[in-house]
Homo-oligomer: A and B are copies of this chain.
């Protein structure tokens, strides 16, 4: 990439303070900014870096009031984070030439239907009656079971396993070594203390624009479908149990687990290492803070929850503050009651 500061400003609809004719040839974090690179400042926490960075240009907020002189040219926009994201995407579109073709050795069952401009990597195994849409990349060492349908413009990275009968929409990304459609954890306890496996006859349905991280597991339903709705973003090492439904545009951070048959509403933000109990419903736009344990149905939309068992996060933080004062409070109490 070789653009002037002015050209980039035009691209992201910003206004330039400083020398707009300078050349930009790369991206850097603001604290690591070098001559020739562009960076951005979104989090006020990092403002001090703005006055020290050697970056040729920095994207900043229209609202920002400078406290010291800066070396860099500034490009002012409404939202520096979104503007920078757009810039990265334009860059990636120019740079990313997606592979096509079929590498050998690989196996594609003759009953499988593979779209145009697809890529199938080496050591990948595609079973009978699989359907794959156009412009989809299935990288090396992927296993795709019988009757699986995958849409267009998907990227399935190495080591992914998709069990039979699962359905994947368009524009879906699944990162390395994730597993879609393995058996739900269903074992009926018997009178003698042993378990009997409950056949898991359902599947997983992943809708469009879903992104899934690495080493994540999404189990097939006992009956019916485990459903990941449009636009859901799932991080690494996440567990989605059988018959769960995740509402559209909900984001789930790493190492979180959603137990069986639970329905998470749309536009929720679930932080890392959260546990959600089975057979409950989470209202739309719920925010769950890290490591919380949600044990009951959440009926009111838009709340922020914290703690285990999770409650309103403000109450949770207040209680935490009180608990920290407990030693002092009790000493006072004991003195009064001597």
Q: Interface SS of chain A: helix, strand, loop or mixed?
A: loop
Interface size on A, residues (CB 8 A): 103
Instruction: Among A179, A293, A329, find the residue whose CB has the most chain B CB atoms closer than 10 A.
Output: A179
Docked pose: A211 CA to B235 CA in angstroms: 23
**Which of A9-17, A56-64, A111-119, A180-188 touches B?**
A180-188
CB contacts (< 8 Å) of A199 on chain B: these are: 85, 88-89, 91-92
CB contacts (< 8 Å) of A68 on chain B: these are: none
Closest Cβ of chain B to A115, distance in Å, is 22
Q: Is the CB of A179 within 8 A of B214?
A: yes
| A326 interfacial by beta-carbon distance below 8 Å | yes
Q: How many copies does the complex hold?
A: 3
CB contacts (< 8 Å) of A194 on chain B: these are: 209, 231, 249
Q: Is the CB of B92 within 8 A of A201?
A: yes
Task: Given the known inter-chain contacts A201-B27, A241-B254, please indicate yes or no for A217 contacting B213, CB distance below 8 A.
Answer: yes
Would you give the 0/1 interface string for A17-58, flagging 1 where the beta carbon is closer than 8 Å to chain B? Answer: 000000000011100100000000001010000000000000
| A277 interfacial by beta-carbon distance below 8 Å | yes
Q: Is the CB of A195 within 8 A of B28?
A: no
Q: Is the CB of A327 within 8 A of B323?
A: no
Task: Given the known inter-chain contacts A125-B123, A215-B217, A290-B277, please indicate yes or no for A309 contacting B319, CB distance below 8 A.
Answer: no
Q: Is the CB of A219 within 8 A of B201?
A: no
Closest Cβ of chain B to A218, distance in Å, is 9
Docked pose: A193 CA to B251 CA in angstroms: 11
Q: Is the CB of A161 within 8 A of B183?
A: no
Docked pose: A308 CA to B140 CA in angstroms: 41
CB contacts (< 8 Å) of A320 on chain B: these are: 309
Task: Given the known inter-chain contacts A177-B177, A251-B195, A254-B241, please indicate yes or no for A213 contacting B182, CB distance below 8 A.
Answer: yes
Q: Is the CB of B231 within 8 A of A279?
A: no
| A2 interfacial by beta-carbon distance below 8 Å | no
| A223 interfacial by beta-carbon distance below 8 Å | yes
| A198 interfacial by beta-carbon distance below 8 Å | yes
Q: Is the CB of A272 within 8 A of B239?
A: yes
| A197 interfacial by beta-carbon distance below 8 Å | yes
Closest Cβ of chain B to A206, distance in Å, is 15
Q: Is the CB of B323 within 8 A of A326?
A: yes
Would you give the 0/1 interface string for A257-281, flagging 1 where the beta carbon is closer than 8 Å to chain B? Answer: 1010000001100001101010100
CB contacts (< 8 Å) of A309 on chain B: these are: 320
| A302 interfacial by beta-carbon distance below 8 Å | no
Q: Which residue of B lies closest to A89 (CB)?
A: B199
Would you give the 0/1 interface string for A167-190, flagging 1 where the beta carbon is closer than 8 Å to chain B? Answer: 000000101110100110101101
CB<8 Å pairs between A and B, sample of 8: A45-B279, A89-B196, A89-B197, A182-B236, A197-B211, A254-B257, A273-B293, A291-B308
Closest 10 CB pairs of A and B: A143-B158, A161-B176, A179-B214, A217-B236, A88-B199, A92-B199, A175-B182, A239-B254, A182-B214, A185-B235
